Structure 1
């Protein structure tokens, strides 16, 4: 037998990843729906870092170790593409924007957009970002004066949306219009997971929320295209959209069409709004349960800034603020799973990955892996100090993805989070509301069910 024939037989002999047992027709779906993340963690403990989840109508290979991230999203990324119901649902809103596009088109768009997120551009956006944060914080004053319970999760959604509106459109959007954009985007993001489930249903079937979803998209399109046209008539570059308008592909000499600009603008909106808002809400949930952490944050901010407005150059000295945010994003990563579809047969950990198979890099399982993280359930921002990070697998922390598809707005998001933490620490004491423990809600992202409720108290300098 030829050498090639032996290799084929050897590859055929590879076992499939162990399957999580379930019941006829629906597989492991009942257990998954009732226990969610606990179910997946129990399956990892029983079957190992790679296993197959029977979902009745299909199955998926679950990956839960940083080495799997390295394999699927970095070393062999060409073998895995963004196919399946989730990505199709996202494309109904994001079009062919950076998070969902593929191949040469994705490379071209990434090449054109990347300069907008270089450090010098981020420095230029800092003042605009802090102004938007302070504007939002002014709305916190009534709750601080009265001591009434305050939903900080909802407040962060509004704040990060305000920051993104300012960063994306600059002066190109009126206040009322910005508020309506924020409301429409919030609904769209909430609907996406439902859209994934209902996308295959016939058009004539009345699906709850579908009409409102489409109307929200139409409204966003109108606003974005109007701002694009306005931007084409101006030359200033005071916002991200202006930078994209004037971006030129170095290889082809082309600029983006209106449709491409629209897709990239809404994609950046979603990426820049959701992760930061959710991460900050969980950070305060954790700090109000560990008050010593908030005191450390306040001490750092007082020593670095006093009461002055933070600038980009201060971020390096606000290390504990960044560590708090990173730890919150580890424990409650908003983007808790990254699905791909295998385009060809592959091998991973000695198991066969068939072609056409749904493969899920489960960020949440990686972030809670006891072989990667010491006491993974414990809130410990100091685990992100340089000393304790040394030797850790570089894919162990991945709330922004990994490899060439790493979220382009990662540094923007972390910079925004540091600024927000600093401005709050300068102004308020924040404490837990007894009996109002935040509960995990698993939808498009891992959010706090019914909010994160705190007491605010003005902080004397």
Structure 2
């Protein structure tokens, strides 16, 4: 119940800026790869940007985002959710057991043991998601697309879960929505290889090979 000290607050801000840089960049790299293989999603982001921000002014500049306008980018948010379900930047997380506990499966974990949880595995379970290997942002639609459904707890966890959820997750989501909108409003892009990008597991979940795009400025 106590607030952060100045040192703790500083450390959390440093974590957000440093740890959030590579992970957000990775999600965007994956997003561009998936969108280039699914050009209809590029146009969805573009049309939603026009609807939410309005067209550019006479000077050619687009209106600026506000918090309310970022939150109105529901289709773009669903696209990013689907990207992070398929390719979460952090492949696995570990937690140390603090007291003996019996799991629903019947197995017992003991104090001091490490439990590994994988956002990638959770996102690809057929018991959690229909057609789990397919890129389908529409799976996140609610009320006919008017809003976005909240994922069931523990199934979609690219930012962790519970009291240890990433402290910067909202900042990261908004940052990526703005960046994706900025790129899609100015460019169209495609890939000669229409298959979804493959991955390699390092500290983070990286593309196995460079994601090469064919990029054209919008007229």
TM > 0.5 fold call: yes
Which secondary structure state, in structure 1, belongs to the residue aligned with residue 182 of structure 2? helix
Q: Which has the bigger relative contact order, CA under 8 A and spacing at least 6?
A: 2
Question: Secondary structure in 2 aligned to 1:394?
Answer: coil
Q: Give 5+ residue unaligned stretches, structure 2.
A: 57-61
Q: 1:325 maps to what in 2?
A: 80
1:429–1:452 Cα change, 3 Å: same
Taking structure 1 as the reference length, the TM-score comes to 0.42
Instruction: Give the deviation of 1:391 after TM superposition.
Output: 8.1
Measure, in 2, the Cα distance between the counterparts of 1:318 and 1:409.
Answer: 19
1:280 Cα deviation (Å)? 1.0
User: For structure 1, which runs of at least 5 residues remain unmatched after alignment?
Assistant: 1-106, 113-248, 250-254
Q: Which has the larger radius of gyration?
A: 1
Q: Of residues 65, 89, 98 in structure 2, which corresponds to 1:311?
A: 65
**1:353 corresponds to which residue?**
109
More helix by share: 1
Deviation at 1:408, TM superposition (A): 1.1
1:454 aligns with 2:208: no
How many residues matched? 208
Kept after mapping to 2: 8 A contact 1:372/1:392: no
* Whole-Å separation in 2 of the counterparts to 1:268 and 1:392: 23
Q: How does 1:26-425 map to 2 (within 5 A)?
A: 111-112=3-4, 249=5, 255-256=6-7, 263-305=11-53, 306-307=55-56, 308-312=62-66, 313-349=68-104, 350-387=106-143, 393-425=152-184
CA distance in 2, matches of 1:316, 1:392: 17
Decide whether the 8 Å contact of 2:37 with 2:194 is kept in 1: no
Shift of 1:316: 2.6
Q: Who is 1:431 aligned against? A: 190
Q: Is the 8 A contact 2:101 2:110 kept in 1?
A: yes
Give the corresponding residue for 2:59.
Answer: none
Aligned partners of 2:20 and 2:172 also within 8 Å:
yes
State whether residues 339 and 359 of structure 1, in contact with CA within 8 Å, keep that contact through their aligned partners in structure 2.
yes
CA RMSD of aligned residues (A): 2.4
Give per-residue Cα distances to partners, 1:236-269, cap 9 Å, x unaligned: xxxxxxxxxxxxx4xxxxx33xxx5764443222
In 2, Cα distance between equivalents of 1:261 and 1:391? 29
Q: How has the CA–CA distance of structure 1 residues 347 and 274 changed in structure 2, closer, same or farther, with 3 Å as cutoff?
A: same
Normalised by the size of structure 2, how large is the TM-score? 0.85
Secondary structure of 1:453 counterpart: coil
